[in-house]
């Protein structure tokens, strides 16, 4: 994987867009990411991680605050990264979730995170692969083969993190290595074994409880004491089987006793049943003799009841005929009374033949009245509307006059609104010119004020630059003096390096009879290096001061150009005038829409006034026409109502309709006829006439029915065999009495036949045998039943006990068979789980399975780290992995020691100095990076970052570390070193500077010589 280009906008400390050309940094193979503390060096690395994984490493990711605080409102935070991986050129564009101002209203709303993953095609076009967060995460993870944690440990060696890893305890180191190497499956195995052991223990406890319950039930059923739980495996089944055998023997003996008792009870029951049957037969014969004597004593009464019943049944038709005759006479009387009543309601006495013509006259009058009733209602409605219509006619005339006045005033209102709009628009049009002038004056004033400040800062910067130049000259002179002194004492320096028996580097001799001795002013290489370093620092400081002076001069020239001739102390009046003009123009701009709306309303009001006048005139014509039509309709309806009233009164008086002249209707003395009262009067009179006509026919039919009913009555008396009607009516009885007589006669006959049947096989009372003693037989049967109940209870109890014990023995055998293998599995699972958890005596290191796997991984990391540590420490230090527990640890397997080959001793990493800790930690980090890269599938990482920690190294160690970093460039790899140490700036010419300021941070690329 190689990084090509990074672009950051409103992210971290970068409020504006910052672009990093990583291809340009990659030319040298080694570059320096430098800058002051807090400028944002680590944020550049965070941007790379965020582009790849949508998150930043370490504790910074938990803050969830990635947008730059100093970014302009509304600027979206954005990170764009181009990289090559697996032969593919990809581009990732991500934005984190951030709060932006609402488009409408006040407050903020959350803008969700987004991503766009694209791939560059051979023709140079970009093709979008995904815009989903989860899908992009899977694609990047598959291509890189690493998680974010692994990536930060492989491609971005974190600041200070591996010092903590080097000095951590085994448990903490276990957590980190497990996350890096993804060995959670081994912890899952440990957890599964623990859960499996717990499950087996729960199952064994459950099965043991089942066995205990069965033992308790067997003991309760057999009423026997169970054996102790420790001996259950050997004696439990034998104890239960013996109880079952005893119960079976007792059951068989009790069954024989119950059979004997059942035989005795059966004999006693049969004797008792025979005695009870004899007593019941004797009681039936005695009751039958008594009842027959009583029935024979009532023979005369039975005969009289039979005779009365026969006469009543013959009189039934006569009673019915007499009832019909009486009902016909009563109906005839009722009709006669109704005819008399109805004739009294007629105004004149009408013979029967004149009823039909009178009915027709009433029908004609009623029809005319019903037709006239709606006209009367319509007439009353018209008369009720006439005052309103007259008032509406007056209002319509007034409305026409008012609308005509509005139309006359409309032109004046239109001219006033149009003049107002033109004046407001002219004032508002001057707003851009006023605002441009105001902005120009303000910018000039601000530039002039800032120029004064920059002038003072420039004077100070020039003085500092001169002082830095003098320091550089003095330091350079010091370097020349040290170098000259070293040259003068070079012989003594060479002599000091000679060893006994060694060859001289000048003459080659192995004998050194008179070595040169150093003088009082002699110096060595270390002093020269220190002087050179001081000179480099002075030059760097001078260069920075010169750049600062040039920046201030450029800035001052730009400010003076923008300020021009503006004097901040004299520009107040012009500024006030422009601000007043802007306010006046803005007010006019705000009033322009209202003035335009007022003109529109005036134009619409003029048009509405003309239309209202037309509508008012049309409405006046319509109202006058309606009033004239209503007057004509009222006169017509008044004539129709009067004609209907005259016809109705004539018909009620009994007159002929032909005698009335319809052209001259007769009006009542009090005015308009009351049709509402005439219509029900006609209806009542018509009902009376029709009813009287129908009753006349019904009266004639009723007289005929009376004659026919009397003839039927005489015929019924003759057929029934009675002398006359009175005799038949005397023999008749009510239906209830007749039913009672029939029931009594039939009951007497039925009971006499029944008792005769019972006594047909009865012996002579004098020859009957004596009855058996029922009380003695009952007592004997009760005693036999008691004996049988006791035997049955005992047999049932023993049978149930034997069956219950048999079932319990079977269940107990099955439960023991089920419990035994679970116990065996529990013993095995407990042993294995304790061993895997490192708690068994068979595990002397007390090492967990997951720790054992990670220990093998850690040994690989140590081997890879020692290859680089040997070069960086001048073959002095090497790492050792030990399985022994460290101080204060309860588990072993992941402890680290540092072996000092100069002393031959191994010691704890916490005893190392700061520089030694950094070197060992860096070697450990590089070794872990190599192992993780191989674990991730051999992903080639062509871009690597090393973050901070170089300031704790001495020059020689720093030289060795830089050689190691140089070796990382083999194969085209690019290494970025993150540091603010001045020595690093001297050794690495290609640098990416991150600078900070009040408005945020920025980056720039520089190349040294």
- pLDDT tens digit sequence for 593-624: 888 888 788 778 878 888 888 888 888 888 88
The residue length of the chain stands at 1009
Q: Is residue 536 part of a domain?
A: yes
Q: Is 12 left (phi over 0), alpha (psi -120 to 50) or beta?
A: left
Asked if 489 contacts 523 with a C-beta cutoff of 8 angstroms, the reply is: yes
Give the model confidence (pLDDT) of 699-717 as tens digits: 778 778 878 777 878 777 7
Treating both helix axes as pointing N-terminal to C-terminal, what angle do 184-222 and 774-836 enclose, rounded to 10 degrees?
160
pTM for this prediction: 0.40
Question: What's the rounded Cα separation, in Å, for the pair 315 and 716?
Answer: 9
What's the angle, vertex CA 976, arms to CA 974 and CA 981, rounded to 5? Answer: 145
**H/E segment holding residue 859:** helix 849-872
Which 3-state string (H, E, C) describes 706-719? HHHHHHHHHHHHHH
For residue 67, the 8-state DSSP code is B
Q: Which pLDDT band holds residue 40 (cuts at 50, 70, 90)?
A: confident
The tally of domains found in the chain comes to: 1
Q: Is residue 438 part of a domain?
A: yes
Question: What's the rounded Cα separation, in Å, for the pair 9 and 552?
Answer: 26
Asked if 147 contacts 184 with a C-beta cutoff of 8 angstroms, the reply is: no
Q: Which pLDDT band holds residue 78 (cuts at 50, 70, 90)?
A: very high
Asked if 1 contacts 82 with a C-beta cutoff of 8 angstroms, the reply is: no
Residues 792-823: b if buried by 16+ CB within 10 A, e if exposed: bebbeebbebbebbeebbebbeebbeebeebe
373 pLDDT higher than 50: yes
Q: Phi, psi at residue 353, to the nearest 5°?
A: -75, -15
- Considering Cα of 464, then 466, then 472, then 477, what sign does the dihedral take? negative
Q: Is residue 290 part of a domain?
A: no
Q: Which of 467-471, 796-800, 805-809 has the highest mean pLDDT?
A: 467-471
Q: Is pLDDT larger for residue 638 or for residue 475?
A: 475
Q: Is residue 764 part of a domain?
A: no
Question: What's the rounded Cα separation, in Å, for the pair 273 and 279?
Answer: 10
Q: Which pLDDT band holds residue 663 (cuts at 50, 70, 90)?
A: very low
Treating both helix axes as pointing N-terminal to C-terminal, what angle do 914-935 and 170-181 enclose, rounded to 10 degrees?
30
Asked if 964 contacts 899 with a C-beta cutoff of 8 angstroms, the reply is: no
Question: What's the rounded Cα separation, in Å, for the pair 879 and 881?
Answer: 7
The percentage of residues in the chain with a pLDDT greater than 70, rounded to a whole number, is: 84
Q: Which of 156-160, 325-329, 808-812 has the highest mean pLDDT?
A: 808-812
Going through 393-495 in order, the beta strands assigned E by DSSP cover none
What pairing do the DSSP bridges indicate for beta strands 114-120 and 88-95? antiparallel
Q: Which two tokens stand for residue 945?
A: 């970052």
No. of H helices and E strands in the chain? Answer: 22, 17
510 pLDDT higher than 70: no
- Considering Cα of 82, then 87, then 88, then 92, what sign does the dihedral take? negative
- In the block, tokens 């990416």 appear at 992
Q: Which pLDDT band holds residue 670 (cuts at 50, 70, 90)?
A: very low
Q: Phi, psi at residue 843, to the nearest 5°?
A: -110, 85
* Complete DSSP assignment for 205-264: HHHHHHHHHHHHHHHHHHT-PPPPGGGHHHHHHHHHHHHHHHHHHHHHHHHHHHHHHHHH
Identify which of 842, 848, 853 has the alpha carbon closest to the alpha carbon of residue 889.
848
Q: Which two tokens stand for residue 493?
A: 């320096």
Surface-to-core class of residue 768, CB atoms within 10 Å of its CB (0-12 exposed, 13-18 middle, 19+ buried): exposed
For residue 978, the 8-state DSSP code is E
Asked if 175 contacts 183 with a C-beta cutoff of 8 angstroms, the reply is: no
172 pLDDT higher than 80: no
3-class state of residue 94 by DSSP: strand
Give the model confidence (pLDDT) of 290-299 as tens digits: 777 787 787 7
Question: What's the rounded Cα separation, in Å, for the pair 19 and 866?
Answer: 38
What pairing do the DSSP bridges indicate for beta strands 943-947 and 974-978? parallel
pLDDT at 1008: 62
* Listed range (469-483, 705-719, 754-768, 864-878) with the worst mean pLDDT: 754-768
Q: Is residue 414 part of a domain?
A: yes
Question: What's the rounded Cα separation, in Å, for the pair 260 and 333?
Answer: 96
Identify which of 910, 926, 923 has the alpha carbon closest to the alpha carbon of residue 876.
923
Long-range contacts of range 656-663, CB-CB < 8 Å, 24 or more positions apart? 656/357, 656/361, 657/361, 657/364, 657/365
pLDDT at 79: 94
Residues near 662 by Cβ (< 8 Å), separated by ≥ 6? 643, 647
* Listed range (84-98, 350-364, 910-924) with the worst mean pLDDT: 350-364
Q: Domain range holding 578?
A: 379-496+519-604
Q: Is residue 421 part of a domain?
A: yes
Q: Which two tokens stand for residue 93?
A: 């564009």
Calculate the alpha carbon distances from 504 to 495, 507, 559, 667, 761 in Å: 9, 6, 68, 169, 168
Calculate the CA 654 to chain-centre distance: 91
Q: Within 10 Å of residue 6's Cβ, how many Cβ atoms?
A: 21
Going through 230-269 in order, the beta strands assigned E by DSSP cover none
pLDDT at 606: 79
3-class state of residue 890 by DSSP: coil
pLDDT at 853: 78
Average pLDDT over residues 503-532: 69
What's the angle, vertex CA 643, arms to CA 639 and CA 645, rounded to 5? Answer: 115
Question: What's the rounded Cα separation, in Å, for the pair 451 and 565?
Answer: 12
Which 3-state string (H, E, C) describes 151-179? HHHHCEECCCHHHHHHHCCHHHHHHHHHH
Question: What's the rounded Cα separation, in Å, for the pair 309 and 143?
Answer: 121
3-class state of residue 9 by DSSP: strand
For residue 35, the 8-state DSSP code is -
90 pLDDT higher than 90: yes
The terminus-to-terminus CA distance of the chain in angstroms comes to: 29
Long-range contacts of range 509-514, CB-CB < 8 Å, 24 or more positions apart? none
Q: Is residue 1004 part of a domain?
A: no
Calculate the alpha carbon distances from 386 to 33, 564, 631 in Å: 104, 90, 8
- Calculate the CA dihedral of residues 8, 12, 15, 17 and round it to 10 degrees: -10
Question: What's the rounded Cα separation, in Å, for the pair 354 and 999?
Answer: 125
Residues near 939 by Cβ (< 8 Å), separated by ≥ 6? 1, 85, 144, 145, 146, 933
Q: Which two tokens stand for residue 663?
A: 């052209």
Q: Is residue 401 part of a domain?
A: yes
* Listed range (589-603, 849-863, 916-930, 982-996) with the worst mean pLDDT: 916-930
């Amino acid at each position: 994987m190689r990084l090509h280009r990074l672009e950051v906008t409103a992210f971290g400390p970068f409020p504006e867009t910052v672009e990093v050309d990583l291809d340009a940094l990659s030319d040298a193979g080694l570059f320096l990411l430098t800058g002051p503390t807090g400028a944002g060096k680590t944020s550049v690395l965070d941007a790379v991680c965020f582009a790849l994984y949508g998150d930043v490493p370490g504790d910074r990711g938990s803050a969830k605050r990635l947008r730059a605080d100093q970014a302009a409102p509304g600027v979206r935070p954005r990170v764009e990264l181009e990289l090559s991986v697996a032969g593919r050129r990809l581009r990732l564009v991500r934005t984190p979730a951030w709060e932006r101002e609402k488009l409408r209203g006040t407050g903020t709303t959350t803008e969700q995170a987004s991503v766009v993953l694209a791939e560059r095609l051979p023709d140079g076009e970009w093709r979008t692969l995904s815009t989903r967060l989860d899908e992009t995460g899977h694609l990047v993870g598959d291509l890189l083969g690493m998680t974010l944690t692994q990536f930060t440990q492989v491609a971005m060696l974190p600041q200070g993190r591996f010092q903590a890893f080097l000095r951590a305890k085994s448990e903490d180191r276990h957590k980190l290595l497990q996350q890096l190497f993804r060995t959670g499956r081994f912890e899952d195995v440990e957890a599964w074994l623990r859960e499996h052991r717990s499950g087996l223990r729960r199952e064994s406890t459950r099965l043991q409880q089942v066995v205990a319950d069965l033992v308790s039930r067997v003991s309760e059923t057999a009423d026997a004491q169970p054996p102790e739980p420790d001996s259950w495996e050997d004696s439990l089944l034998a104890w239960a089987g013996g109880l079952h055998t005893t119960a079976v023997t007792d059951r068989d003996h009790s069954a024989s006793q119950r059979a004997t008792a059942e035989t005795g009870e059966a004999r006693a029951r049969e004797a008792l049943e025979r005695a009870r049957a004899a007593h019941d037969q004797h009681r039936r014969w005695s009751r039958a003799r008594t009842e027959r004597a009583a029935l024979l004593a009532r023979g005369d009464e039975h005969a009289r009841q039979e005779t009365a019943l026969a006469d009543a049944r013959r009189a039934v038709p006569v009673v019915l005929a007499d009832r019909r005759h009486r009902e016909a006479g009563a109906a005839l009387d009722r009709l006669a009374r109704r005819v008399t009543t109805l004739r009294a309601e007629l105004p004149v006495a009408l013979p029967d033949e004149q009823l039909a013509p009178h009915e027709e006259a009433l029908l004609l009058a009623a029809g005319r009245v019903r037709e006239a009733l709606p006209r009367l209602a319509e007439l009353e409605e018209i008369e009720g509307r006439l005052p309103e219509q007259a008032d509406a006619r007056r209002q319509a005339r007034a409305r026409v006059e008012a609308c005509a006045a509005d139309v006359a005033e409309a032109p004046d209102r239109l001219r006033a609104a149009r003049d107002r709009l033109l004046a407001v628009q002219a004032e508002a049009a001057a707003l851009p010119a006023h605002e441009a002038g105001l902005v120009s004056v303000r910018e000039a004033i601000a530039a002039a004020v800032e120029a004064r400040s920059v002038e003072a800062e420039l004077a100070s910067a020039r003085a500092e630059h001169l002082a830095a130049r003098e320091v550089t000259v003095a330091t350079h002179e010091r370097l020349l003096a040290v170098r000259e002194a070293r040259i003068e004492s070079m012989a003594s320096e060479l002599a000091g390096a000679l060893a006994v028996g060694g060859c001289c580097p000048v003459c080659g001799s192995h004998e050194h009879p008179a070595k040169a001795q150093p003088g009082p002013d002699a110096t060595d290489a270390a002093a020269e290096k220190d002087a050179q370093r001081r000179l480099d620092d002075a030059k760097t400081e001078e260069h920075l001061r010169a750049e600062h002076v040039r920046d201030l001069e450029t800035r001052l020239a730009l400010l003076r150009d923008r300020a021009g001739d503006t004097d901040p102390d004299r520009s107040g009046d012009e500024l006030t005038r422009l601000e007043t003009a802007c306010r006046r123009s803005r007010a006019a701009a705000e009033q322009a829409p209202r003035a335009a709306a007022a003109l529109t309303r005036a134009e619409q009001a003029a048009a509405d006034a003309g239309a209202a006048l037309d509508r008012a005139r049309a409405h006046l014509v319509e109202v006058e026409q309606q009033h004239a039509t209503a007057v004509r309709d009222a006169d017509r309806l008044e004539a129709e109502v009067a004609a209907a009233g005259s016809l109705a009164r004539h018909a009620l008086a009994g007159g002929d309709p032909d005698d009335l002249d319809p052209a001259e209707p007769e009006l009542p003395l009090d005015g308009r006829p009351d049709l509402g009262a005439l219509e029900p009067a006609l209806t009542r009179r018509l009902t009376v006439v029709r009813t009287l006509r129908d009753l006349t026919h019904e009266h004639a039919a009723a007289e005929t029915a009376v004659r026919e009913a009397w003839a039927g009555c005489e015929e019924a008396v003759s057929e029934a065999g009675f002398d006359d009607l009175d005799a038949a009516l005397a023999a008749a009885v009510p239906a209830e009495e007749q039913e009672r007589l029939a029931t009594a006669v039939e009951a007497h006959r039925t009971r006499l036949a029944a008792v005769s049947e019972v006594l047909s096989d009865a012996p002579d009372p004098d020859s009957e045998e004596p009855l058996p003693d029922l009380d003695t037989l009952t007592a004997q049967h009760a005693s036999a039943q008691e004996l049988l109940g006791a035997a049955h209870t005992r047999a049932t109890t023993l049978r149930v006990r034997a069956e219950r014990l048999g079932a319990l023995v079977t269940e107990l055998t099955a439960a023991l068979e089920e419990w035994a293998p679970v116990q065996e599995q529990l013993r095995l699972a407990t042993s294995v789980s304790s061993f895997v958890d490192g708690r068994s005596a068979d595990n002397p290191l007390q090492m967990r399975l997951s720790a054992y796997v990670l220990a093998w991984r850690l040994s690989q990391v140590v081997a890879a780290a020692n290859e680089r540590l040997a070069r960086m420490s001048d073959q002095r230090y090497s790492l050792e992995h030990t399985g022994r527990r460290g101080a204060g640890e309860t588990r072993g397997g992941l402890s680290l020691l540092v072996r000092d080959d100069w002393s031959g001793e191994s010691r704890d990493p916490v005893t190392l100095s700061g520089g030694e800790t950094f070197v060992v930690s860096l070697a450990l980090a590089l070794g872990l990076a190599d192992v993780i890269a191989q674990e991730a599938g051999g992903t080639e990482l062509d871009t690597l970052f090393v973050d901070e920690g170089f300031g704790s190294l001495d020059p020689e160690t720093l030289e060795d570390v830089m050689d190691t970093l140089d070796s990382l460039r083999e194969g085209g790899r690019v290494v970025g070193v993150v540091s603010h140490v001045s020595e690093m700036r001297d050794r690495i010419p290609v640098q990416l500077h991150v600078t900070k300021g009040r408005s945020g941070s920025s980056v720039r690329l520089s190349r040294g010589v």
